[in-house]
Amino acid sequence: MATEVKVPVLGESITEATVGEWLKKPGDAVAVDEPIASLETDKVAVEVPSPVAGVMGEQVVKPGDTVQVGALIAIIEEGGAAAAAPKAAAPEPARAEAAAPAPKVEAPAAAPANDDHIMTLSPAVRRLVLEHGLDPSAIKGTGRDGRLTKEDVLAAAEGHKAETPAAAPAAATVLAPVGARKEERVRMTRLRQTIAKRLKDAQDTAAILTTFNDVDMTAVMEARAKYKDLFEKKHGVRLGFMGFFVKAAVMALKDMPAVNASIEGEEIVYHDYVDISVAVSAPNGLVVPVIRDAQDMSVATVEKTIGDFGKRAKDGTLKMEEMKGGTFTISNGGVFGSLLSTPIINPPQSAVLGLHRIDERPVVVNGEIVIRPMMYLALSYDHRLIDGREAVTFLVALKNAIEDPTRLLIDL
């Protein structure tokens, strides 16, 4: 009995996907709920499980094909056993004459070297012939059927050097280098296509401007060093920097609600909640899950949420609804070593905060030059909605909260 495997429901408003790869080959045994294929949607990769136990049958679609929700993609044959892998073909018996060295075959009468003759040689031999400027038709081949070997060419090159007088060599034709110059063409994943389209649409639609500031990380680093062990023991998660930045962003967004707003048609939509999108790394690129109601979360809850997002992004188990919405984005390029960047907003949001690596730099404090761990901050925003004054004020409020974390406790 055969069972049809169809594209499952992928989420609200998602009607199609791209076949990423087949995880099982025809003839392979499959168990109930074992993944047999992966599909790529606009957001994440989704695995398609087998509805029954049996044997992988016909694969109706190929990797790269676009399929609709509910479309037939494969057949599972129930009750059978996996087909045995075909036996490897027995090696061809060695020819008797191979036991003895092949006799040298005189090459035909010398003829002018030409490209056609060179192209019949193996790549390694052809490269040596070109490097030494030799005529392959004038070299005796000791390989099978009189073919030239690398040793033949090298021997001919040595003989050519011995015969050539020490006089200045005649001008030789300059040949293009011959080597392994490979190109590979890989179809863009649906996720990468969607990222590209959304980023370009953002540039075409919004009036994007970026403003910068820097922040002294001394206070946060000292607090983290002092409390990280107790924090992890109590909450079961490591104390990172993102918890501080999310809480500081929430406080700054309350002061500058336009940075947390969005444009819909000719209206500005202000939100009384803060849903922060955080960019996390996944195998197929960055994904941006959303921390809902960040204004109600503690630092510990933020760190737990981000840690869970990161783990499930690598596993490919993030859900569609977890990446929808968001009123503001934080992207931490510092984890990859970025010094400074101009991030692009994530529509319909109007602003994105870029974090960068921490470097020790000389700064002036109370009239003295001191070394402090500094980080550059970048806020890209839609100038149609957010003025420069609001953008700068937001960054200053964020900077003040990070440099004096006590402000986070008293909302100052």
Structure confidence by residue, pLDDT tens digits, 359-381: 999 999 999 999 999 999 999 99
Q: Which range marks the domain in which residue 115 is found?
A: 101-163
Report if residue 261 sits inside a domain. yes
Q: How many helices (H) and strands (E) does the chain have?
A: 9, 18
Report if residue 182 sits inside a domain. no
The set of residues, in sequence order, having a beta carbon less than 8 Å from that of 347 and lying 6+ positions away, is 198, 201, 202, 205, 206
Report if residue 138 sits inside a domain. yes
Report if residue 360 sits inside a domain. yes
Identify whether residues 115 and 40 lie together within a single domain: no
Identify whether residues 394 and 247 lie together within a single domain: yes
Report if residue 173 sits inside a domain. no
pLDDT, position 145 = 63
What are the Cα distances from residue 59, in Å, to 54, 73, 369?
A: 14, 6, 68
Give the C-alpha separation, 378 to 355, whole Å.
7
Residues designated as active site: 383, 387
Identify whether residues 11 and 143 lie together within a single domain: no
Asked if residues 298 and 321 have their Cβ atoms less than 8 Å apart, the reply is no
Give the C-alpha separation, 376 to 353, whole Å.
11
The set of residues, in sequence order, having a beta carbon less than 8 Å from that of 306 and lying 6+ positions away, is 240, 242, 243, 278, 280, 291
Asked if residues 381 and 209 have their Cβ atoms less than 8 Å apart, the reply is yes
Identify whether residues 210 and 352 lie together within a single domain: yes
Whether the bond into 35 is cis, omega within 30 of 0? no
Report if residue 188 sits inside a domain. no
pLDDT, position 2 = 87
pLDDT, position 140 = 78
Identify whether residues 12 and 70 lie together within a single domain: yes
pLDDT, position 104 = 46
Identify whether residues 290 and 142 lie together within a single domain: no
Closest CA to 317 of 289, 297, 291, 292: 289
Cβ contacts of 165-172, under 8 Å, gap ≥ 24: 172/133
Does residue 22 carry a pLDDT above 50?
yes
Pairing of the two strands 276-278 and 328-332: parallel
Tell me how many domains the chain contains: 3
Does residue 275 carry a pLDDT above 90?
yes
Does residue 93 carry a pLDDT above 50?
no
Report if residue 216 sits inside a domain. yes
Identify whether residues 159 and 215 lie together within a single domain: no
Report if residue 32 sits inside a domain. yes
Give me the percent of the chain exceeding a pLDDT of 70.
Answer: 81
Identify whether residues 62 and 111 lie together within a single domain: no
Asked if residues 61 and 48 have their Cβ atoms less than 8 Å apart, the reply is no
Closest CA to 316 of 58, 52, 21, 63: 21
Does residue 110 carry a pLDDT above 60?
no
Q: Provide the residue count of the chain.
A: 412
Identify whether residues 114 and 73 lie together within a single domain: no
What are the Cα distances from residue 280, in Å, to 224, 247, 276?
A: 22, 18, 12
**Backbone CA torsion sign across 223, 226, 229, 231:** negative
